[in-house]
Amino acid sequence: MKFFIDTANLAQIKEANELGILDGVTTNPSLMAKEGIKGIDAVMQHYKTICEMVDGDISAEVISTDFDGIIEEGKKLVAIHRNIVVKVPMIKDGIKAIKWFTQNGIRTNCTLVFSAGQAILAAKAGASYVSPFIGRIDDSGWDGMELIHQLRQIFTIQGYKTEILAASIRNPNHIIKCAEAGADVCTCPLDSILGLLKHPLTDIGLAKFLEDAKKTA
């Protein structure tokens, strides 16, 4: 399973990248706004900076909701860097645009996916990635992980090449469950990635080893 970081915060991207386990970055307009990025030039520059920091796929989201607008924006985004993947919302014009991008060699990430039916449409249109939002499904009282299991089964049976990119991750356990369910990618906040490091027995064990090492010094 590939690890992406789900943020537009450069310090967090740098920290995750320095761990040596990062395969890419996903962003969205809310994450860009959170960093105070304002104006199209600043947004484009921010994507460029991220692309220069991480050697992997970088999802950059369109904000148009009509076919022509999505295509125009997507073309500008992919011109920034070869690693840009155009993030397109799961709407009717989004599906048409994903098909167009696919036919024109432009990679896409279909975002805001909450059901198997939506994911099937994205895969049929040729999306490179489909992003089920498991945390938001959990938040609304359903089981996000069930969707990952369902998509893994459908995509394998059908032979879809689209990668399942589990998104809206809330904690380290979500990451483990995604790996278990066969997600191709998990995009995570830094805290959830770092949470994987932690176990109290590791801390206790290390303290004991370091204490005993003094006896052998």
Q: Least distance in Å: CB of 170 to ligand E4P? A: 7
8, 24, 28, 151: which one contacts ligand E4P (CB under 6 A)?
28
In this structure, how many other beta carbons lie within 10 angstroms of the beta carbon of residue 200? 7
Beta bridge partners of residue 24, listed in sequence order: 4, 57
Q: Is 167 in the site for ligand E4P (CB under 6 A)?
A: yes
Query: Which one from 2, 38, 87, 92 is the annotated catalytic residue?
Result: 87
12, 83, 128, 187: which one contacts ligand E4P (CB under 6 A)?
187
Beta bridge partners of residue 133, listed in sequence order: 167
Spatial CB neighbours of 10, under 8 Å, sequence gap ≥ 6: 35, 49, 50, 53
Q: Least distance in Å: CB of 179 to ligand E4P? A: 17
> x-or-dash pattern for ligand E4P, window 101-120, by CB under 6 A?
----------x---------
Residue 120 host element (H or E)? helix 116-125
**Given the rule CB under 6 A, which of 131-139, 150-158, 176-184, 195-203 is the region that contacts ligand E4P?**
131-139
Is the separation of the CB atoms in 121 and 93 below 8 Å?
no
Can 87 be counted among the known catalytic residues? yes
C-alpha 71/C-alpha 66 separation (Å) is 9
Among all residues, which ones are annotated catalytic?
A: 87
